[in-house]
Amino acid sequence: MKKDLLNIYDLEPADFDIIWKKAQKLKTSLKEGRSHTSLKGKTLGMIFDKSSTRTRISFEVGMYQLGGIALFLNSRDTQIGRGESISDSAQMMSRYLNGIMIRTFSQKSVEDFARWASIPVINGLTDLLHPCQILSDLFTIKEKKGSYNKLKIAYIGDGNNIANSWIEAAARLPIQLSLACPDGYDPDAKIMAKGKKEAKEGITLYRDPFEAVKKADVLYTDVWVSMGQESEDKERKKIFKNYQINKKLLKEAKKDAIVMHCLPAHRGEEISADVIDGSQSVVIDQAENRLHVQKAVLEILL
């Protein structure tokens, strides 16, 4: 039976270790110049309803490196953009392709697509979730810290797709998650309730970022204004102004804490320039790992 990656819960606890091992192997092979073409002749369709730099490049290059090809499908240029139904699109595309990656607004659209498709569907970001990002982030934490077990990860900012996927990760893996979000900008209530119930090491939501980052091993943030929220820009910048990762906040974390951001970043907003460009920041390694981890995911699903 085909397997999708629509959220972190699509992965069984044992799947994570398989992904880390594969990603590490693929990363090492690439660095040593050995080719690894396990997906020779395979095709991935990539439907984009929103902008992307990392997701597009890492999936496209990843498929190429694995011996397959990726097709960039801007939904505006396809019949999807002119109203062709999800059911027809998904069934028909399943006859051409071996897998589909979708970046869009509604999580339901990705789920509907997956229901109709007979090939694996990968969520490349929705308003609700961004599972590929959090998988790469976990791999990066493992690389930098040896393990993520029992580590405290503090997420500061908007209760958005990144925050929601972190909550799902904390429900599946032994990480301690603390979040600080302003009132009214909490993570999704359903995801939070399920996450709290299933969390291995606890999930705590604070209002005060200083509380949330106390003795944290990882400080994480994301933009205050996500794609699709541009009209709220002014208001959000006011509301989030105390939710910045900066030197003062970093002092509350452990001395050897690492700083993460899924990127794109806005220096001077959710993170100060001296911190994102400082010695504790791992954001570029984090972005690189999208490639290796997604290649592992593609190998498994396709």
Catalytic residue numbers read 103, 130, 133, 222, 262, 290
d(CA 61, CA 232): 34
- Find which of ligand NVA, ligand CP, none residue 160 binds, CB within 5 to 8 Å per kind: ligand NVA
Among 2, 3, 28, 53, interactor with ligand CP by CB under 6 A: 53
Per CB under 6 A, 55 contacts ligand CP: yes
Phi, psi dihedral angles at 145 (to 5 degrees): -115, -5
Among 22, 27, 54, 172, interactor with ligand CP by CB under 6 A: 54
Q: What separation in angstroms does the CA of 214 have from each of 63, 112, 255, 261?
A: 41, 41, 11, 18
Per CB under 6 A, 262 contacts ligand CP: yes
Q: Footprint of ligand NVA on this chain (CB under 6 A)?
A: 125, 160-162, 222-223, 226-227, 262
Residue pair 156/166 in contact (Cβ under 8 Å)? The answer is no
Sheet containing strand 218-221, strands side by side: 203-206, 176-180, 152-156, 218-221, 258-261
Site for ligand CP in 112-151 (CB under 6 A): 125, 133
**Residue 46 beta carbon to ligand CP: minimum distance, rounded to whole angstroms:** 11
Phi, psi dihedral angles at 44 (to 5 degrees): -120, 125
Residue pair 135/157 in contact (Cβ under 8 Å)? The answer is no
- Find which of ligand NVA, ligand CP, none residue 223 binds, CB within 5 to 8 Å per kind: ligand NVA
**Residue 255 beta carbon to ligand CP: minimum distance, rounded to whole angstroms:** 27
Options 21-29, 51-59, 63-71, 72-80: segment touching ligand CP (CB under 6 A):
51-59
- Find which of ligand NVA, ligand CP, none residue 98 binds, CB within 5 to 8 Å per kind: none
Instruction: List alpha helices for 146-226, DSSP H.
Output: 161-172, 189-198, 209-213
- Find which of ligand CP, ligand NVA, none residue 53 binds, CB within 5 to 8 Å per kind: ligand CP
**Residue 54 beta carbon to ligand NVA: minimum distance, rounded to whole angstroms:** 7
d(CA 99, CA 293): 16
Neighbours of 174 (CB within 10 A): 14
d(CA 262, CA 294): 15
- Find which of ligand CP, ligand NVA, none residue 4 binds, CB within 5 to 8 Å per kind: none
Per CB under 6 A, 229 contacts ligand CP: no
